[in-house]
Amino acid sequence: MALVVDVCREDDVANMVATAHKAFGRVDCLFNNAGFGGVSGNIEDTDMGEPYQRTVDAMLTGWNRHSDIFWPAGIGR
């Protein structure tokens, strides 16, 4: 199964979980490996606004969002 998911959007992650659960009936494991190049360059030249926040959201908080949403799908099997 292949899905397009923006890990920075909670509703995308929730839809991914629902789709996987519906297709397979349960979730046995979760691999949090989403990422992208993110913001790069000299700190003084880096846009610390939305591009930086998106990088932090994808790389640092995305794994937690996945885990929080996937966890209930794996309970009670």
What does the pLDDT look like over 38-74, one tens digit per residue? 777 787 887 778 888 888 887 778 777 778 888 776 6
Alpha carbons 13 and 69: distance in angstroms, whole number: 7
Distances (CA, A) of 2 to 31, 35, 52, 64, 65: 14, 16, 28, 21, 19
| pTM metric for this prediction | 0.67
Contact in structure between 50 and 44 (CB atoms under 8 Å): no
In a domain, 1, yes or no: no
Q: Is residue 60 part of a domain?
A: yes
Q: Where is 20: in which H helix or E strand? A: helix 10-24
Give the Cα separation of 39 and 54 in Å (integer): 9
Q: Is residue 32 part of a domain?
A: yes
Write out pLDDT tens, residues 13-39. 889 888 988 898 877 777 777 667 777
- Overall domain count for the chain: 1
Alpha-carbon distance 61 to 22, whole Å?
A: 25
Residue 51: inside a domain, yes or no?
Answer: yes
Position 4 in a domain: no
